[in-house]
């Protein structure tokens, strides 16, 4: 049981009932969902750790702010309030709201792809980023440090770029063929791992030397700032806001799913430091893709809530509790022998399913097998982050083998208690103890892009 010195830094004012199902019911429900946890109804899930995207609880100040939302089509007061907060945090000159992070990606990424044969380079592209890179006609290259792939090895910043890989990729493909460098913070596919300020600074220097734009994919930038404060020399006494401002100084653009560190259920940010030409292209493109530049797919009331949430996410007490919940679940699993990405990251515990299921080949999706077993055992919904998510090579159409087969136990913000996390841990430990019974899966239906969201499967005998 969690000790009282680090209890939730909030009181519960409203409750939402959740329903428990039986094991037999869950077996049927999962079968009816095509063995894809994304297709389960939320009412059939006891503890939902599918994602932290838009699943958090808003504060009383955010709910209060929504009451003054200005729903004007153009020039909304709520837009200017949100714009002021974004500029206060980032220092960037240009800002447009979007409905969520993938809205920012679909508006911004095509603007830098000016010819065939171009590439985006990232520490690791996340799923929608990779998809939008390919939809824009480019290809994605990942250049994360090798420490990322050593699950048991401790490294303060496993999300870092490998600078040698980055420079080699630029030299191999030609700087004129690199559309941009995307700094994903925290690095989700690496296990929610942070990126150091020194690494961000070095990446920016390489980009500047080669005349390449740097883009911060910062859905969880506040959590990254917390890790910098905690782990990197010279930042322990610095305010989180000041760490954030230095972080943004190393980017030329900022794409954010505000459903994470914006603490809202829907919304996103597209901000550009000072490149007026790119801003004007995006402002033109955003109208047919998202909406008028001063609402960009967001309601006025949601912009009000986001303006408050962005500042709440930079509160050190909130961040301490946020990271402590992740560590608590990670420690419980690790103490029981369950292999996880170590140390845990900022928003989730990533379970190493390649180690748990060495008998299941990558193209039979070992992390999906563990994910489905966890739902059947405890009614806990998690998500696969491995070869299923990685998809097929866009040119050869062959399944790509992920170097890590992970299951992500994603903790929503300000939603669950430590007791809920104990239920998750107990169920996962039971699955681990019966890991030799797990079987792989094959496709019934496979979508040609972002297949993990809508595919259906059948278990192998």
Same domain, 275 and 424: no
pLDDT at 399: 87
Which residue among 274, 289, 312 closes a domain? 312
Helices (H) and strands (E) in the chain, counts: 17, 14
Q: Hey, what are 64's tokens? A: 């209060």
Instruction: Tell me the pLDDT tens digit for each residue of 138-162.
Output: 999 999 999 999 988 899 999 999 9
pLDDT at 24: 97
pLDDT at 393: 85
Same domain, 39 and 122: no
Residues 185 and 345: their CA atoms lie apart, in Å, by: 11
Task: For residue 205, give the 3-state DSSP assignment.
Answer: helix
Same domain, 334 and 445: yes
Active site residue 35: no
Residues 263 and 309: their CA atoms lie apart, in Å, by: 5
- CA 13 from centre of chain: 28
Range in 1-15, 19-33, 48-62, 413-427 with the lowest mean pLDDT = 1-15
- CA 178 from centre of chain: 24
- CA 82 from centre of chain: 22
Q: What mean pLDDT comes out for the span 10-18?
A: 91
Same domain, 91 and 174: yes
Q: Hey, what are 46's tokens? A: 């006891």
pLDDT band at 384 (very low <50, low <70, confident <90, very high): very high
Q: For the chain, how many structural domains are there in total?
A: 2
The domain that holds 366 is classified in CATH as 3.90.1150.10
Catalytic residue, chosen from 126, 161, 235, 362, is 126
Residues 171 and 153: their CA atoms lie apart, in Å, by: 30
What does residue 187 show for φ and ψ, rounded to 5 degrees? -85, 100
The domain that holds 284 is classified in CATH as 3.40.640.10
What does residue 102 show for φ and ψ, rounded to 5 degrees? -70, -20
Residues 316 and 309: their CA atoms lie apart, in Å, by: 14
CB of 420 closer than 8 Å to CB of 380: no
Beta bridge partners of 132: none
CB of 353 closer than 8 Å to CB of 425: no
What does residue 141 show for φ and ψ, rounded to 5 degrees? -120, 130
* Res. 128: pLDDT tops 90: no
Same domain, 300 and 446: no
CB neighbour class for 105 (10 Å; exposed up to 12, middle 13-18, buried from 19)? buried
Same domain, 139 and 286: yes
Q: What mean pLDDT comes out for the span 288-311?
A: 96
Same domain, 304 and 347: no
Catalytic residue, chosen from 33, 65, 136, 219, is 219
pLDDT band at 3 (very low <50, low <70, confident <90, very high): low
Catalytic residue, chosen from 44, 52, 142, 217, is 217
Q: Which run of H or of E encompasses 445?
A: strand 441-445
Percent of all residues in the chain with a pLDDT value above 90, rounded to a whole number: 89
Active site residue 126: yes
User: How far separated are the first and last CA of the chain, in Å rounded?
Assistant: 39
Catalytic residue, chosen from 44, 48, 52, 127, is 127
Active site residue 318: no
Catalytic residue, chosen from 99, 158, 204, 260, is 260
**Residue 224 neighbours by CB under 8 Å, 6+ apart:** 159, 185, 186, 194, 195, 218, 247, 346
Residues 6 and 321: their CA atoms lie apart, in Å, by: 7
Active site residue 452: yes
Which residue among 312, 347, 364 closes a domain? 312
* Res. 2: pLDDT tops 90: no
Instruction: Tell me the pLDDT tens digit for each residue of 158-182.
Output: 999 999 999 999 999 999 999 999 9
Q: What mean pLDDT comes out for the span 112-136?
A: 93
Dihedral sign computed on CA atoms, order 280, 285, 291, 296: negative
Q: What is the DSSP letter of 117?
A: S
pLDDT band at 230 (very low <50, low <70, confident <90, very high): very high
pLDDT band at 375 (very low <50, low <70, confident <90, very high): very high
- CA 218 from centre of chain: 9
Q: What angle (nearest 5°) sits at the alpha carbon of residue 139, between those of residues 257 and 248?
A: 40
**Residue 16 neighbours by CB under 8 Å, 6+ apart:** none
CB of 44 closer than 8 Å to CB of 21: yes
Residues 198 and 203: their CA atoms lie apart, in Å, by: 9
Q: What mean pLDDT comes out for the span 124-134?
A: 90
Same domain, 104 and 152: yes
CB of 250 closer than 8 Å to CB of 199: no
Instruction: Tell me the pLDDT tens digit for each residue of 191-213.
Output: 899 999 999 999 999 999 999 99
Q: Hey, what are 437's tokens? A: 């019974």
**pLDDT mean across residues, the chain:** 95
Same domain, 27 and 99: no
Percent of all residues in the chain with a pLDDT value above 70, rounded to a whole number: 99
Instruction: Tell me the pLDDT tens digit for each residue of 440-461.
Output: 999 999 988 889 999 999 999 8
Active site residue 252: no
| Residue 231, domain extent | 60-312
CB of 215 closer than 8 Å to CB of 140: no
Instruction: Tell me the pLDDT tens digit for each residue of 403-415.
Output: 889 999 999 999 9
pLDDT at 306: 98
Which residue among 288, 312, 336 closes a domain? 312
Residues 160 and 117: their CA atoms lie apart, in Å, by: 26
The position carrying tokens 């939809």 is 135
Q: Which run of H or of E encompasses 199?
A: helix 197-210
pLDDT at 223: 97
Active site residue 217: yes
CB neighbour class for 77 (10 Å; exposed up to 12, middle 13-18, buried from 19)? middle
Active site residue 219: yes
Residues 402 and 184: their CA atoms lie apart, in Å, by: 18
pLDDT band at 5 (very low <50, low <70, confident <90, very high): low
Same domain, 15 and 93: no
Same domain, 371 and 274: no
Catalytic residue, chosen from 10, 73, 445, 453, is 73
Q: Hey, what are 20's tokens? A: 């428990």
* Res. 4: pLDDT tops 70: no
* Res. 391: pLDDT tops 60: yes
Before 343, cis peptide (omega within 30)? yes
Q: What is the CA radius of gyration of the chain?
A: 21
Same domain, 135 and 243: yes
Dihedral sign computed on CA atoms, order 117, 121, 127, 133: negative
Task: For residue 214, give the 3-state DSSP assignment.
Answer: strand
Residues 434 and 441: their CA atoms lie apart, in Å, by: 17
């Amino acid at each position: 049981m969690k000790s009282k010195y680090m209890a939730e830094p909030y009181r519960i004012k409203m409750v939402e009932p959740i329903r428990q199902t039986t094991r037999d019911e869950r077996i049927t429900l999962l079968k009816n969902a095509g063995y894809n946890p994304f297709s389960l109804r939320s009412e059939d899930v006891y503890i939902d750790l599918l994602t932290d995207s838009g699943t958090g609880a808003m504060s009383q100040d955010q709910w209060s702010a929504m009451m003054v939302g200005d729903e004007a089509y153009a020039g909304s007061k709520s837009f200017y309030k949100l714009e002021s907060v974004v500029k206060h945090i980032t220092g960037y000159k240009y800002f447009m709201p979007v409905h969520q992070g993938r809205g920012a990606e679909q508006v911004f990424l095509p603007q830098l792809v000016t010819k065939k044969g171009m590439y985006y380079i990232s520490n690791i592209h996340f799923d929608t980023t990779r998809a939008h890179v390919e939809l824009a006609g480019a290809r994605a290259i990942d250049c994360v440090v090798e420490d990322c792939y050593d699950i048991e090895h401790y490294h303060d910043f496993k999300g870092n770029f490998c600078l040698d890989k980055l420079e080699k990729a630029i030299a191999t493909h030609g700087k004129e063929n690199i559309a941009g460098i995307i700094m994903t913070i925290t690095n989700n596919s690496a296990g929610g791992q942070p990126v150091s300020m020194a690494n961000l600074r070095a990446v920016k220097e390489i980009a500047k030397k080669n005349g390449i734009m740097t883009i911060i994919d910062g859905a969880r930038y506040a959590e990254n700032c917390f890790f910098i404060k905690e782990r990197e020399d010279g930042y322990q006494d610095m305010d989180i806001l000041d760490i954030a401002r230095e972080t943004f100084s190393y980017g030329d653009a900022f794409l954010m799913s505000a459903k994470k560190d914006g603490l809202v259920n829907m919304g996103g940010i597209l901000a550009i430091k000072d490149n007026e030409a790119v801003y004007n292209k995006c402002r033109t493109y955003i109208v047919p893709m998202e909406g008028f530049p001063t609402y960009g797919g967001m309601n006025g009331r949601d912009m009000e809530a986001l303006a408050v949430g962005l500042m709440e996410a930079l509160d050190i007490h909130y961040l301490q509790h946020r990271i402590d919940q992740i560590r608590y679940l990670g420690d419980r699993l690790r103490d029981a022998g369950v292999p996880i990405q170590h140390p845990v990251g900022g928003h989730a515990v990533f379970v190493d399913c390649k180690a748990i299921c060495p008998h299941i080949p990558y193209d039979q999706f070992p992390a999906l097998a563990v994910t489905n077993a966890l739902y059947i055992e405890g009614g806990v919904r998690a998500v696969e982050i491995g070869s299923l998510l990685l998809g097929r090579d866009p040119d050869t159409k062959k399944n790509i083998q992920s170097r890590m087969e992970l299951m992500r136990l994603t903790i929503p913000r300000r939603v669950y208690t430590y007791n809920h996390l104990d239920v998750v841990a107990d169920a996962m430990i039971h699955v681990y103890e019966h890991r030799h019974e797990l079987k792989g899966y094959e496709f019934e239906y496979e979508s040609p892009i972002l297949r993990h969201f809508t595919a259906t499967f059948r278990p192998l005998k």
